[in-house]
Amino acid sequence: MKRTLGTCYYPEHWSRDIWERDAQQMADLGLTWVRIGEFAWSRLEPSPGQFDFEWLDQAIDILGRAGLRVVLGTPTATPPRWVVDKHPDMIAVDAQGRPRKFGSRRHYCFSHAGYRDETARIVTILAKRYGKNPYVAAWQTDNEYGCHDTILSYSDAARNEFRGWLRARYAGAGNDGDIDALNAAWGNVFWSMEYSDFDQIDLPNLTVTEPNPAHVLDFRRFSSDQVVRYNRLQVDILRQYTDAPIAHNYMGRITDFDHYDVGRDLDIASWDSYPLGFLEDRVTASEDHRALFYRQGDPDFQAFHHDLYRAVGRERWWIMEQQPGPVNWAPYNPAPLPGMVRLWTWEAFAHGAEAVCYFRWRQAPMAQEQMHAGMLRPDSVPAAAYHEAAQVMAELADAPAVTCPKGDVALIFDYQSQWAWEIQPHCQGLSYFDIVFDVYRAMRSLGLSVDILAPDTQDLDAYGVVFAPGLMHIPAALEQAMAATQARVIHGPRSGARDASFNIPDGLPPKIANLDATVSYVESLRPSVQIPLAGGGAMRSYREHLETQAEAILTTTEGAAAMVEQGSVAYVCGILDDAGWRRVVENECDRAGIVTLDLPMGLRTRVTETERFWFNHLPHQITWNGMTVPPAGVIRQAKS
Ligand code: GAL
């Protein structure tokens, strides 16, 4: 697949006199894609039913005639003021019961039927008008579901639809809800929480102390399903009028909805990669780590999402927005080290991205993002990213098409486990995402190419080793696949610790096929406590005590089991530090005959079908194994 570049453009922000020049300059730079329209509702429909498409017709025409391919966004992330005035209760409500206000974006509740109707209306009109436009080569639904904490809404609309969702989930005879089934599943006898009717059930916020975790988990599932339903509403309309591929642009470390479920309805997964913003805002890291990587971003965080969204997109994925320079929204917003925009672009391609689009073409002189860099400065002078994109363009000319081979190892990431760990963490700071990411980091530090798998994956036999840390409830189909596979499967901590209704499984956890082990008790630990492992590394934060005949293959210095194995199943009985996870991954790869590399800090590698890429994420040169990689350097080698 040929790799391409693009940008995000807002014709409605600029005078028409410069559209032609902008389009020509994009084309001259070699860009293929230009994404437009995703926030333009107030200019498309300034008042109810009064449309102005003339400007968008012209913008698409100018861009298309310059040779660019347009990605047209549906504008539903920014309903204009009149939509909110028409449906005041479409606004999402936060966990404190406060309605969120108009004046920025994403101010809608997924459960509001009136807003869904407005959505269907505007999407239909756009799809009819541009569905067959030869220059509109792809569509984007909405913009960044979940950004700004916008999945969970505690509105009346959400409460009413949640009751309907529960009736369907706990359907009894005659397809009506069976409230006794719900009471039993949730364990509502505890604290006299039993209901006699679904209409008594409220949303799980503002309770005196913590709400029932089973209630919260169902609310989280419902909230995720609402996103799927909302996105599907748009996709179903678009597909009636266009054959162009449809994408959504996901974000980094947003886990409040199941991206695999949304992704199944789309042709392409894309995501918005802001490495420096993420390092300050979303990566769990020490101050030293932040200081070392502040101009480069975390060396693994972007790659993790590349691999995750490759799974969400079933191999087809893009970067829809690539950080071009300093952003405006993180606690600190440094400029990238020269060369990093190029490195981020190549790293995405090495992980299989079809396209990388830079956000945004020109820095905005007004409103919220004035301090966010673009490819051009507001005065249209090219900024640093422009030149780095030009360099990538030149390099792409002689680059072979990039195809991702199957990864060396597999790692399962499961959104429902993320919700479960959040709902019942046992101590402060525990995060399922961090556990999975720590294992991923260990894999990358050993030079491995990783495939992230959805929890409904059946094809485990394709791998020698599958890591499934922290999978709190193992869905039945996956349990069967795990029981049947030849692959070695690494579980724990907390794997199989709850059933689908958030209860301790019969007997005791873990409920894992082919493993005779019982977690007799768990404990959580202060951040300052480390339980050293014999041979290096430590357990931290969370620990389980096992009763088992399975063989301990990793122990604490006091001789307690830290990891056990039985046949091809292994279980890690706690959260490990970086050195601990590295030992586990290295040992498993050794046993499976998978080659690992002992990479120095900051050096990362990734293979495609034809090439091996090396990336230096450090601000200084790395010399390793006879190879010298400059700071922010990328080396491409033909694969022997
Ligand atoms: C993204 C968003 C863009 C822009 C960008 C700034 O989250 O999709 O519209 O706001 O961040 O970094």
- What does the pLDDT look like over 364-392, one tens digit per residue? 999 999 999 999 999 999 999 999 999 99
- Closest residue CA from atom 1 of ligand 1: 272
Q: Residue 369 — φ and ψ, nearest 5°?
A: -110, 35
- What pLDDT score was predicted for residue 95? 98
Pocket test for ligand 1, best of 36, 144, 248, 271 (most atoms within 8 A of CB): 144
- What pLDDT score was predicted for residue 175? 73
Q: Tokens at residue 149, please?
A: 């904490």
3-class SS at 34? strand
Strands (E), 231-387: 246-250, 268-273, 317-322, 355-358
Q: Which candidate, 356, 355, 357, 352, places its Cα nearest to that of 303?
A: 352
Write the CB contacts of 467 (distance below 8 Å, at least 6 apart in sequence): 409, 410, 411, 412, 439, 443, 490, 585, 588
Calculate how far, in angstroms, residue 611's C-alpha sits from the geometric centre of ligand 1. Answer: 32
Residue type, 40: A
Calculate how far, in angstroms, residue 372's C-alpha sits from the geometric centre of ligand 1. Answer: 9
Which pLDDT band, with edges at 50, 70 and 90, does 2 fall under? confident
Query: Strand 450-453 relative to strand 465-467: parallel, antiparallel, unpaired?
Result: unpaired
Which pLDDT band, with edges at 50, 70 and 90, does 564 fall under? very high
Would you say residue 353 has pLDDT above 90?
Answer: yes
Kindly compute the dihedral angle of the four CA atoms of residues 88, 94, 97, 102, in this order, to the nearest 10 degrees.
-30
Would you say residue 173 has pLDDT above 80?
Answer: no
Residue type, 446: L
Contact 456, 312 (CB under 8 A): no
- The catalytic site residues sit at 144, 321
Residue type, 499: D
Strands (E), 163-267: 246-250
- What pLDDT score was predicted for residue 256? 98
Contact 141, 248 (CB under 8 A): yes
111-115 mean pLDDT: 98
Domains of the chain: 4-151+227-396 (3.20.20.80), 156-217 (no CATH), 409-592 (3.40.50.880), 603-638 (no CATH)
- Closest residue CA from atom 12 of ligand 1: 327
Calculate how far, in angstroms, residue 369's C-alpha sits from the geometric centre of ligand 1. Answer: 9
Would you say residue 640 has pLDDT above 90?
Answer: no
Pocket test for ligand 1, best of 38, 253, 282, 321 (most atoms within 8 A of CB): 321
The length of the chain is: 640
Q: Tokens at residue 307, please?
A: 């691999």
Q: Residue 148 — φ and ψ, nearest 5°?
A: 60, 30
125-154 mean pLDDT: 98
Which pLDDT band, with edges at 50, 70 and 90, does 176 fall under? confident
For residue 368, which atom of ligand 1 is closest to its CA? Answer: 10
Q: Tokens at residue 600, please?
A: 């120095």
Q: Residue 451 — φ and ψ, nearest 5°?
A: -105, 125
Would you say residue 225 has pLDDT above 90?
Answer: yes
154-161 mean pLDDT: 98
Q: Percent of the chain, pLDDT > 70?
A: 100
Q: How far apart are CA 417 and CA 543, in angstroms?
A: 18
- What pLDDT score was predicted for residue 398? 86
- What pLDDT score was predicted for residue 284? 97
The mean pLDDT value of the chain amounts to 97
Q: Tokens at residue 17, please?
A: 């006199």
Pocket test for ligand 1, best of 253, 272, 280 (most atoms within 8 A of CB): 272
Calculate how far, in angstroms, residue 431's C-alpha sits from the geometric centre of ligand 1. Answer: 25
- What pLDDT score was predicted for residue 38? 98
Residues having CB within 6 Å of any atom of ligand 1: 143-144, 147, 272, 274, 321, 327, 329, 359, 369, 372
Q: How far apart are CA 126 and CA 238, in angstroms?
A: 9
Residue pLDDT, tens place only, 498-535: 999 999 998 899 999 999 999 999 999 999 999 999 99
For residue 274, which atom of ligand 1 is closest to its CA? Answer: 12
* 595-626 core/surface letters (b: 16 or more CB in 10 A; e: else): ebeebeebbbbbbbeebbbbbbbbeeebeeee
Residue pLDDT, tens place only, 290-348: 999 999 999 999 999 999 999 999 999 999 999 999 999 999 999 999 999 999 999 99
Distances (CA, A) of 74 to 86, 228, 388: 20, 16, 30
- What pLDDT score was predicted for residue 172? 79
Would you say residue 126 has pLDDT above 80?
Answer: yes
Q: How far apart are CA 635 and CA 614, in angstroms?
A: 5
Residue pLDDT, tens place only, 254-274: 999 999 999 999 999 999 999
434-446 mean pLDDT: 98
Would you say residue 148 has pLDDT above 90?
Answer: yes
Distances (CA, A) of 21 to 11, 26, 32, 361, 467: 12, 9, 16, 12, 51
Calculate how far, in angstroms, residue 356's C-alpha sits from the geometric centre of ligand 1. Answer: 15
CA 381 vs. chain centroid, Å, equals: 33
Angle at the Cα of 288 (from 284 to 290), degrees rounded to 5?
50
